[in-house]
Structures are given as structure tokens and as C-alpha cells.
Amino acid sequence: MKVFVTGGSGYIGRAVVAALVREGHTVEALARSERAADVVGGLGARAVTGGLTDLDVLNTAAARAQAVIYLAQADSGEADLAAAGAMQDGIGGGTYVHTGGSWVYGDTDGVSDEDAPWNPPALVAWRERVETEVLRRAERGGRPVVIRAGLVYGLGGGLIDIFYAGPARRDGVVSCIGEGTNHWSLIHVEDLAELYVAALRARPGAVYVGVGGVDPTARDAALAVSRALGIDGKVRSVSPAEARETMGPIADAFRLDQRFSPARARAELGWVPRHTDPLTVLAGG
């Protein structure tokens, strides 16, 4: 299958492009810089020069493909919706896979699934309008699919590395918001990549929560990061206000208590996460 990917040179995108190529798909990937073009080229994809605001480029590339995977995120909800619309117009009846995130559900109050009500922090509240419009295309013959990924980790990247490991390398201690008793619903980047590949055969209008099914507490994750950095056990609690000062609005998302089941993707797509011990992976760096 010929697949057009945006965000292919990013952390998640590199894993997705590699997984697509391994499965024998022909991949074109949007690249807004020479460096990005080199990255996707090295993974076996053909670079398409442009950015998310180049709607004609997106539309034309999608029209050449049999499926689209939208991994990048535009600067605003309006821009994100415009990019999604351009690609959905181009792909027509082909599969369009859109990237969301599990944070839109807010606290889950136990183990939940894709049908949980939305209660997003302000950081991601804009996603509801975009995803509603994306999924509405199924009523007009489109094949939209949305993946709401959990907190992505693995291969030395992701938000945990940026907001927890990065500052800890400088400060010699890992911060934890509050007592850290809230759960993080995690997904290894390689498992998430395989979910995107599997989603190419999903039913129109399908929504999948991309999680590994193991949800450690934020404090246990912080302790694992401390072991990876050689500062075993050096974890400090910071107030939500202090976390917002240093991390910005994403601090409210990291405070969410989320637990999700990957059962729907397993049942409908046969997708089974292989990485089921996130703390060991985090502790290994």
C-alpha cells in the first residue's frame, strides 16, 4: 500500500515509517527541512517537501496515496483541522488515520476505554472539535480512524525524557508532581508504531486508545527514571503550582490519573503490545 505520512521525521514518526517499510508499504513523508528529508529518506521513505500549512501539497500527496497517517500537530486547532481536511479531501475513500491523545479523557476513575466521556485539560481541549469533524467524514464515504495514544516512552525519547529526565540530568533529582499516586497510561513507541500500521485496515470511524495496558504511578515512573540516570531514589515532590511554573500547562496533563485497556484494538485489529514492563524500560534509559 502507498502511504503518505506527516511528522515522519519526529520521535513517533520515525518508528511509524520504519514499521510501514518493514511491512512492505511504499511511504511518502512530508519534510519541511533538508534534515527532515534526510531522516525519512534514511528510513526508506520518499520525502515530500512542505509543511502543514501547505494545504495544496498535503492534498496532492494524499491523492497519490491509498492511506494517510497524520502524526504531526499544527500550531492551532484551526490549522490542524485545515490540514486534516486537505488530506481527507485528497485521500477520498482511502484510510485516513488521525493522531489524538488519551489526555482528552481527563481522570478515568479506574480502568476505562475509548467510550469514556471527555474531560480534557485546557492544553488539549481543542482536539474535540477537530476529531469530531475528522470522524464525521465516515458519514460521507470516508475512512477516518483516530488513535488516542497514551504517554509514549522508549528508545530514549518522548515527553518523559523531555520533562523529567532532561531537568534531572541538570538538577541531580527527578521531580514528581504532588505525591505521584496518579497513574500514567503508557505506550512504547514501537508498539504504537505497530498500532498505526494495524489501523490501516480499521473500520471507518473507529477510535482506538493506544496504550500498553500497564499503568504505573507517576512516582514509580520517576523512580525508574532516577535509576536510569544513576541517581537512584532521588525524587522530590513539587507542588502543582511549582510544576506549572517550570513545565507550563503540560503539568496539568501529567497530573491526570489515567488507566486504559487496549482491548478494543486487540479484538478488532489483532494488535498486541509487546512491551509490557515500562518501568524496566524507563530504568534502563
Residues 6+ apart with CB under 8 A from 167: 175, 246
Arithmetic mean of pLDDT, 134-140? 97
Whole-angstrom distance, CA of residue 242 vs CA of residue 223: 20
The DSSP result for 198-215, as a single string, is: HHTTPPTTEEEEE--S--
Kindly report, residue by residue over 42-80, the tens digit of the pLDDT.
Answer: 999 999 999 999 999 999 999 999 999 999 988 899 999
Neighbours of 42 (CB within 10 A): 12
C-alpha cell at 256: 491526570
Element of type H or E holding 10: none
- Nearest residue to 5 via CA among 42, 75, 52: 52
pLDDT at position 111, please? 96
Arithmetic mean of pLDDT, 97-120? 97
Element of type H or E holding 221: helix 218-228
C-alpha cell at 142: 470516508
Domain boundaries, the chain: 2-151+186-210, 157-184+216-257+276-283
Arithmetic mean of pLDDT, 162-175? 96
> Residue 10 phi/psi, 5° resolution?
-85, -175
Q: What CATH class does 2-151+186-210 carry?
A: alpha beta
Residue, of 156 and 50, whose pLDDT is higher: 50
pLDDT at position 100, please? 96
Report the percentage of the chain scoring pLDDT > 70: 100
User: Is the pTM of the predicted complex or chain greater than 0.95?
Assistant: yes
